[in-house]
Structure 1
């Protein structure tokens, strides 16, 4: 079974705000999407040690990610968007948290390591970015971080490759592919384009700066999975 290529509004309209930001960060973006971690995950050859290290670090984003969605509920001026963010909060509490807990059991990760690990530097940096935008409650700023977190993962999740059979490998890929995740990511991209500054002003530059920093952190996060 292979993935379905994902075409977003930002792909079709490369001059959209999100499309321009993605194009400007193409080097780090593509390096993350085609990272060794992704290749080994799809091939089913990734070691339990590397996968456990990666998932433990990724789980440290969960609380801040929920807080970002809550901040979006509180700050968006769109009733439809508020409902969409609320729906996603429910999915996170059920599906994604369930995957983590099941995987930690199967990979025999001690509870202490799950709850209080030593954070890799990219993890610390990303958590800082997430809490910063969650506390600031600037809707466009929140969307920049959310779009990167979801769009970059959708890009690797829907690579045209055979899927692995091991549940811990396949499960992480399945969370980041398919119609529902594609629609969620498209919603975020469309929202960012809708509220982005119309002119190349200080606000746009601030958002672009955060975008480039966060994409760089995402690339480094994949690297950190191989650093014991």
Structure 2
């Protein structure tokens, strides 16, 4: 999503290594496998087939409801107004730029209304949606941030591989998905989100372990979701 809202200035631009970085290191194999996945390779070079893109976008769109709810819960549970305003701005951006991309691609790829709103969910999709809703049900700021951070940070990492926009794929259905996750606003949002997560690291060991498990499971499911996007059944 293209972030237009200003960010609170209560975090350093380049924060020290903290809880987020430690968790990323703890699941580095899954993280790197997702960032350098064959699906990402094909998207970045423009060779991703319409069959696989269509399947991926139909499944990915099913996260929008839970993701929007997570952003809303972040607004509700954030500790102070500056943080609430950031999430409120992200909600607006998500409802406009990213939703527009999905609808434009669905139209171009001939996705019928039923598949946009109520397709059969793949296992990875169903599990990731359940994880989002489980974090949502906790009403716990660190739990909510754990899922949001993985979803946004990992996508920022793979999109950063695209390099110079002059070398991005020619077709908007590929390049626009890259742009939505590789622009100064998005990068600032991910940096802010990572610092916010570090700042609210739980002191309670049981809560900390739960948040860490949620983070690692989200990374595992990101990798599984890319695997499913290229599975034979997706064609």
Q: TM-score, structure 2 length as denominator?
A: 0.89
Aligned to 1:88, which of 84, 87, 90?
Answer: 90
| Counterpart for residue 106 of structure 1 | 108
Residue in structure 2 matching 1:138, options 137, 140, 147: 140
- Aligned residue-pair number: 219
Give the CA deviation at 1:54: 0.3
Cα distance in structure 2, aligned partners of 1:223 and 1:181: 25
| 1:197-216 correspondence to structure 2 within 5 Å | 197-198=202-203, 201-216=205-220
Match of 1:4 in 2: none
User: How high is the TM-score relative to the length of structure 1?
Assistant: 0.92
Q: Show CA shifts across 1:114-146 (max 9, x none).
A: 111110101001100111112221000000000
Give the corresponding residue for 1:183. 188
Give the equivalent residue in structure 1 for 2:223: 219
Unpaired runs of 5+ residues, structure 2, are 1-11
Match of 1:126 in 2: 128
Question: Take 2:19 and 2:32, find their aligned partners in 1: how far apart are those partners?
Answer: 19
- Match of residue 19 from structure 1: 21
Q: CA deviation at 1:160?
A: 4.6
Question: Aligned pair 1:45/2:47, yes or no?
Answer: yes
SS for the counterpart of 1:58 is helix
Distance in 2 (CA, whole Å) between partners of 1:174 and 1:24 is 29
Q: Does 1:31 align with 2:33?
A: yes
Q: Distance in 2 between matches of 1:207 and 1:77?
A: 17
Equivalence for 1:147 = 149
Q: 2:3 — aligned with what?
A: none
The alpha-carbon deviation at position 13 of structure 1 amounts to: 2.9
**Root-mean-square deviation over aligned CA pairs:** 1.7
Q: CA deviation at 1:57?
A: 0.4
CA contact (8 A) 2:15 2:195 kept: no
Find the aligned partners of 1:205 and 1:53 in 2 and give their Cα distance: 34
The offset of 1:198, in angstroms, is 4.2
Which whole-Å CA distance do the structure 1 matches of 2:168 and 2:202 have between them? 40
Contact (CA 8 Å) 1:126, 1:217: kept in 2 or not?
Answer: yes
CA deviations over 1:78-115 (Å, ceiling 9, x no partner): 11000000001100111000000000001111111111
Greater shift, 209-218 or 25-34, is seen at 209-218
